Structure 1
Amino acid sequence: MRVKAMSKRILMQIKNDRRTLALMLLAPLLILTLLYFVFEEAENTVDIGIINAPRAFVEELIQNNAVPVYCQDLRLLEKGEVMAVVTVESGKIHAWIDGSNKAKSGNAIQAIEAAGRGGFSVRTDLKSDYTYIYGREDLSLFDDFASILMAFLIFFLVFLISGISFLKERTTGTLEKLLSTPIKRWEVVVSYVLGFGIINVVQSVIVSFYLIYILGVMMVGSIWLVLLTTLATAITASTLGILLSTAANSEFQMIQFIPIIIVPQGFFTGLFTLPPALELIGRVMPLYYAADALKGVMLKGEGFWDISFDLMVLAALSAFFMIINTRLLKKYRRI
């Protein structure tokens, strides 16, 4: 009877906690839907630039899940709009490859090789010439995903720690006492961001140096740009964590945001191949821009101006979250 009574009490608690109930029922559906698109609906087609190639070769590319895009030089490859650029001269294939995405570059090479075997104007006795503009031929899977994993881990940890820390300030009454002083609300928010920012600097340095100099992942660009990007990522995560902590009443409720805020963002960082229409959703997620900037620096050697848009988006999101945080603190000021 006591077991029955306790079980009934637990069920009633879950029933009254609508957020927990919704999370248990809906979060698995969201994640399973994303996994469905990853494994069932993802397209394996790749865009390949064509400078000069016989018609038979181009038709064979189409038959091998490639989309030919006619171009005059390598600019489309440098912009990331195609995965390879091909020209056929004297029956020999010359290809320039974007090796920063191991899966897609592998699909591009397979399509080119298959088209070469089926193209009537291509000499099969001549070995194709491949030049890697980004990445390298022996790029490991970890090298490919290290930048994305770095962005994800930093965002995840900072989001959770900053959110729970700010939640404790609120639930213990420290926040209300603080706001009863002449301190301004924006000063509270900025103080928290700066406080966590100092810790984030140390975290960024440790994680970046460990990945690059201890684990030896591929690093083409500037380490200072990596540190700048990880710091911008951490600040965005901390401001978002503080913002969402206002909607939580306990650490458990803060953790509930992980499967609906953090995990879905991981699907849109380039870690998985998604249909182009679905990939557009990632444009509204901060983790997309963090991963894009880190991958550009580490694998493509991009400079500050190349990743400036990603950094500006992260800065704008941080400022937006801070403004909302400042407005929400108004309900905790009693005087």
Structure 2
Amino acid sequence: MNGQRLFAIMLKELRQLRRDRITLAMIVGIPVLQLVLFGYAINLNVRGLPAVIADQANTAGSRAAVMDMLASGVIAPVADVPTPQQAEALLRQGVASVAVVVPHDFERRLADGREAIQVVVDGSDTVVQSAAAQLAQMPLGASARAARAEPAIAVVAFYNPQRRSALNIVPGLIGVILTMTMVLFTSVAIVRERERGNMELLIATPISRSELIVGKVLPYVAIGLVQTSVVLALGLWLFDVPIRGSVLDVYLAALLLILANLTLGLLISTRAQSQFQAMQMTFFVFLPSILLSGFMFPFAGMPRFAQWIAELLPLTHFLRLIRGIVLRGAALAELWPDAVALLVFTAAMMTFAILRFRKRLD
């Protein structure tokens, strides 16, 4: 082995890396991204769960008991409603993860040593369910402790009382699979045309930029819906995951995510110079989606700035949609903010992709 020739090859490779800005950024960017995301996203000690309060007693004692619960930091109030039915509706819509219900006879229940407060938890997220269970052991002040021998707070889990992990994971897997496949498929679409020499043929045709971009997207829409059907069928067959909401709403939500991911993949494709670069950039998008969306780790446990980043990711909004429809039986119309967010993301990415695409070789 000749050392001079070996050194020349090494020097050539380093120069090539210097010209390849995307790969060069990945060398530093991926370790930094993993460290930051894992460091902030992995937090199972959940605090600040959004809670709706339904204090029907509205006495000094009931208000003090609710304040004691809020002081624990486990829950944070997002709304006050007069009835338990309204509180349940906010749970179904995903506005709150916890509902604190204080009955009219709060004082009498305390005096009799009975359960005086009911904490209703969105059990579709098992981590949230475990965090909210801490409230059952809370003291409600000196007067309450003197009036009872048993805990006065009852925690009830809606939608997943058995705490089955499959009910939480399987619907989320639809989003993870669609994110990985749809972005990857389309991120190499335009690049593949250049590398195979097909772009020369397309240049000679009267096809417009918009027609080419939309034509690239549409076949993968059908593929994404097939993947959704496969996951739903296997989830029902293997893990007994029910679909409590409308099947049509499930497919509409999946369609919104498919379109968002396809347009994101197309934007990556217009930026990448090779299929390898396209796959690198796809990984750069996929990793934050998995860690920050709430699929692996609870969204409420992340710091505020990480939640802001997560709001920019399509998977975050889809997880809220699919879990709300499949597990809580919510209608897509009730979850409209996340549906609108996916539509806005799709429109923005499609516009950027069309503007960046040029039907030429240079």
TM class by shorter chain equals: 0.7 to 0.9
State the partner residue of 1:72.
82
Using the alignment, how far apart are the partners of 1:24 and 1:68 within structure 2?
A: 40
2:320 pairs with 1:310: no
Which of residues 6, 13, 17 in structure 1 aligns to 2:9?
A: 6
How far apart, CA to CA, are the structure 2 residues paired with 1:169 and 1:42?
Answer: 48
Could you tell me which residue of structure 2 aligns to residue 145 of structure 1?
169
| Aligned residue number for residue 238 of structure 2 | 214
Q: How does 1:244-323 map to 2 (within 5 A)?
A: 244-271=268-295, 272=297, 273-323=301-351
Q: Is 2:249–2:332's contact at 8 Å kept on the other side of the alignment?
A: yes
The question of whether the paired residues in 2 share the 8 Å contact of 1:84 and 1:108 is answered with no
1:24 aligns with 2:27: yes
- Decide whether aligned partners of structure 1 residues 307 and 219 sit closer, same or farther in structure 2, where only a CA change above 3 A counts: same
| Structure 2: stretches of 5+ with no match in the other structure | none
Distance 1:277 1:326, change over 3 A: closer
1:85 to 88, 100, 125: 100
- Counterpart amino acid of residue 165 in structure 1: A
1:100 partnered with 2:124: yes
Q: 1:143: Cα distance to partner?
A: 1.8
Most deviating of 171-180 and 35-44? 35-44
**Pairwise CA RMSD:** 2.9
Query: What is the CA distance between 1:125 and its match in structure 2?
Result: 3.7
Q: Deviations over 1:59-91 (max 9, x none)?
A: 542453334645423435532235131326312
Deviation at 1:122, TM superposition (A): 5.7
**2:197 aligned with 1:182, yes or no?**
no
Q: 2:259 matched to 1:231?
A: no
- The secondary structure found in structure 2 opposite 1:217 is coil
* Aligned 8 A contact 2:187 2:282 in 1: no
Aligned match of 1:120: 145
After superposition, the C-alpha distances for 1:21-40 in whole angstroms (9 at most, x for unaligned) are 21111221122112222246
Q: TM-score, normalised by structure 2?
A: 0.81
Query: Is the Cα contact below 8 Å between 2:167 and 2:241 reproduced in 1?
Result: yes
More divergent stretch after superposition (37-46 vs 221-230): 37-46
- Secondary structure at the aligned position of 1:241 is classed as helix
Contact 1:77 1:98 in 2 (8 A): no
Q: Within 1, Cα distance between the matches of 2:304 and 2:234?
A: 34
Distance 1:234 1:135, change over 3 A: same
Partner secondary structure for residue 85 of structure 1: strand
Distance change >3 Å, CA 68–CA 281, structure 1 → 2? closer
* Matched position secondary structure for 2:116: strand
Are 1:198 and 2:206 an aligned pair? no
Aligned equivalent of 1:326: 354
* Amino acid paired to 1:294: I
| Deviation, structure 1 residue 244 | 0.8
Give 1:131 shift: 3.9
Question: TM-score, with normalisation over the residues of structure 1?
Answer: 0.86
Asked whether the 8 Å contact 1:148–1:269 carries over to 2, the reply is no
1:168 Cα offset (Å): 0.6
CA contact 1:50–1:68 (8 Å) conserved in 2 = no
Q: 1:58 to 1:281 in 2, by over 3 A?
A: same
Alignment check: 8 A CA contact 2:160 2:167 kept: no
Mapped contact 1:102–1:139 kept (Cα < 8 A): yes
Measured at CA, do residues 86 and 108 of structure 1 come closer, stay the same or move farther in structure 2, by a change above 3 Å?
Answer: farther
Instruction: List gaps (5 residues or longer) in structure 1.
Output: none
User: Once the two structures are superposed, what CA deviation does each residue of 1:265-310 show, in whole Å capped at 9, x if it has no partner?
Assistant: 2233223231244312222222221111111111211113123333
SS of the aligned residue for 2:326 comes to: helix
Map of 1:20-59 to 2, 5 A cutoff?
20-39=23-42, 44-48=47-51, 49=53, 51=55, 52=57, 54=62, 57-58=65-66
- 1:64 partner letter: S
CA distance in 2, matches of 1:202, 1:139: 29
Q: Percent identity?
A: 23
Take 1:45 and 1:326, find their aligned partners in 2: how far apart are those partners? 41
Whether contact under 8 Å (1:245, 1:254) holds in the other structure is yes
